[in-house]
Amino acid sequence: PIDPEFTEHREVVDEHEGHDVWGPVEEPETLGIHGTHVAVDFDICIADGACLEDCPVDVFEWVDSPGHPESEIKADPTHEGQCIDCMLCVDVCPVDAIDVDAG
Ligand code: SF4
Ligand code: F3S
Ligand code: ZN
Distance of CA 14 to the CA centre of its chain: 14
Residue 44 has pLDDT above 80, yes or no: yes
Nearest ligand 2 atom to the CA of 98 is 6
Domain ranges of the chain: 6-100
* Span from the CA of 36 to the centroid of ligand 1 (angstroms): 13
CATH 3.40.1050.10 correct for 6-100: no
Distance of CA 5 to the CA centre of its chain: 14
Average pLDDT over residues 18-39: 98
Residue 103 has pLDDT above 80, yes or no: no
Rounded Cα distance between 53 and 67, Å, is 24
Rounded Cα distance between 54 and 61, Å, is 12
Q: How much is the pLDDT for 102?
A: 80
* Span from the CA of 56 to the centroid of ligand 3 (angstroms): 19
Bridge partners for 57 per DSSP: none
Average pLDDT over residues 7-34: 98
Q: Kindly state if the Cβ of 84 falls inside 6 Å of ligand 2.
A: no
Rounded Cα distance between 45 and 42, Å, is 5
In order of 6, 14, 73, the CA distances from 11 in angstroms are 9, 9, 23
Q: Kindly state if the Cβ of 97 falls inside 6 Å of ligand 2.
A: yes
Could you tell me which residues come within 8 angstroms of residue 103 by beta carbon, excluding any fewer than 6 positions away?
none
Question: Is the confidence metric ipTM above 0.85 for this complex?
Answer: yes
Q: Kindly state if the Cβ of 38 falls inside 6 Å of ligand 1.
A: yes
Where residue 79 falls among pLDDT bands split at 50, 70, 90?
very high
**Closest C-alpha residue for ligand 1 atom 1:** 55
Average pLDDT over residues 44-71: 98
